A and B are shown apart, each in its own frame.
Chain A
Amino acid sequence: EDQVTQSPEALRLQEGESSSLNCSYTVSGLRGLFWYRQDPGKGPEFLFTLYSAGEEKEKERLKATLTKKESFLHITAPKPEDSATYLCAVQAIPSGGGADGLTFGKGTHLIIQP
């Protein structure tokens, strides 16, 4: 069974204080690892897809990296508007049809204080 574990569950930072969020995963074969941002009462907003170990992607103050067992979302000099829940999800390689649903972690609730 595919599993995704995110840590920490919650993180409070001062504006400008950089940090990293962790996503550990267990999957039979990884097709893709996804990072999403979710604001309260809203749907997940796509940030990144990573496909293979060693891959990195960046967008503004966010950078996502991937190893064979985990992914990190690095946040550099965050601003209050970066406050949200960050979700990690994996998609497994299908073993005979289907398996294109995502398995999500519980998320990291990030608060950036001014």
Chain B
Amino acid sequence: EPEVTQTPSHQVTQMGQEVILRCVPISNHLYFYWYRQILGQKVEFLVSFYNNEISEKSEIFDDQFSVERPDGSNFTLKIRSTKLEDSAMYFCASRATADYGYTFGSGTRLTVV
């Protein structure tokens, strides 16, 4: 069964450093997403991406965040200057159409120290 692949599975970074989280969505999917889950809290929507541009973003997704689909297969989330409160599980998701179910990756656990 096709999977969404995320790397790395765990990343530790120092406060103020830039991090890039990587995702390989399912190959024929057109819609791409990033969500995050702070330990013990809800899964929260960050951003959606379609047709090579952001289609929606939440208020969490401020100027410190950016997304890119650099080569037609990878989908990345960049955090420019990490803060302690950015520590969370970050999930990438994709889906084939706007009415199809989302497939989530296994996540990247980001720890900011």
B45 near A: Cβ within 8 Å? yes
List B residues at the A interface (Cβ < 8 Å).
4, 31, 33, 35, 41-45, 47-48, 55-56, 58, 89, 91, 93, 98-99, 101-107, 109
Which listed residue (B42, B45, B91, B93) contacts A106, Cβ 8 A? B42
Which listed residue (B31, B42, B105) contacts A104, Cβ 8 A? B42
List A residues at the B interface (Cβ < 8 Å).
31-32, 34, 36, 41-46, 49, 87, 89, 97-107
- With the chains together, A100 CA to B56 CA distance in Å? 7
Q: Classify the secondary structure of A's interface with B.
A: loop
Contacting residues, chain B, for A87 (C-beta < 8 A): 43
Min Cβ gap A95→B in Å is 11
- Among residues of A, the one whose C-beta sits closest to the C-beta of B45 is A101
B56 & A102 in contact (Cβ 8 Å cutoff)? no
